[in-house]
Amino acid sequence: MNSRNTEKKEQKANNTNKEDTTLMKEILEYVKLIGGVLIVMVLLQTFIVVNARIPSASMEPTIMTGDRVFGNRLAYIKNDPERYDIIIFRYPDDESRLFIKRIIGLPGDTVDIHDGNVYINGSEVPLEDSFCPIPSSTDGGSLTYPFTVPEDSYFVLGDNRLNSRDAREWVNTFVRRDKILGKAVFRYWPVTKMSVIKGGSGF
């Protein structure tokens, strides 16, 4: 009898050990899975995607306050930024902050703003800006018009021209190319407004 009881206890102990081992394996698999996901997310965030939350109304109605967007970090590896691209960049007056604006002036461009319109390179025809709900403004800042955009730099404005803290007001007027983190390409929040963000020559 004692021998049978001993065998039962040993069998029960073995079963318990097997269950514990199985549980530990499952936990380790979950840990590996979570670790893998985190590594992928970090790599995406570092090398491929820049994630941005829009804190103000400066880009309305194109991008609304509170929207969340993805920027493509690889967009300008081979191609130069284009006029009308919406970019995420380090704010020239405080590089710890990220801003999002639309490119208006390209390197070497002469930019003039008067009578609520933007003029490029002496053109008598104002720059197409139908994406703006209201005209531009020359108010604010110490810019002297017209001015020339330095090489390897860009002049950017918000679409909501009368409610945008942009290059017209900054101490350091222009965004250097090496401070551009990515091109805004997709709005993912709110879910009901998921959409591709238009930019470039097609707005």
Q: Write the DSSP symbol of residue 149.
A: P
**Catalytic residue check, 58:** yes
SS3 letters for 120-145? ECCCCCCCCCCCCCCCCCCCCCCCCC
Distance, CA of 84 to CA of 157 (rounded, Å):
10
Neighbour count for residue 156 (Cβ, 10 Å): 27
Six-digit token pair at 137?
């403004």
Coil/strand/helix, residue 165: coil
Q: Which of 32, 58, 130, 136 is catalytic?
A: 58
Torsion angle defined by CA atoms of residues 68, 72, 73 and 74, in that order, rounded to the nearest 10 degrees? 170
Burial of 147 (C-beta count, 10 Å sphere; 0-12/13-18/19+) = middle
Distance, CA of 166 to CA of 16 (rounded, Å):
66
Q: Which of 8, 101, 153, 198 is catalytic?
A: 101
**Catalytic residue check, 130:** no
Q: How far is CA 46 from CA 40, 51, 68, 74, 181, in A?
A: 10, 10, 17, 11, 10
Active site residues: 58, 101
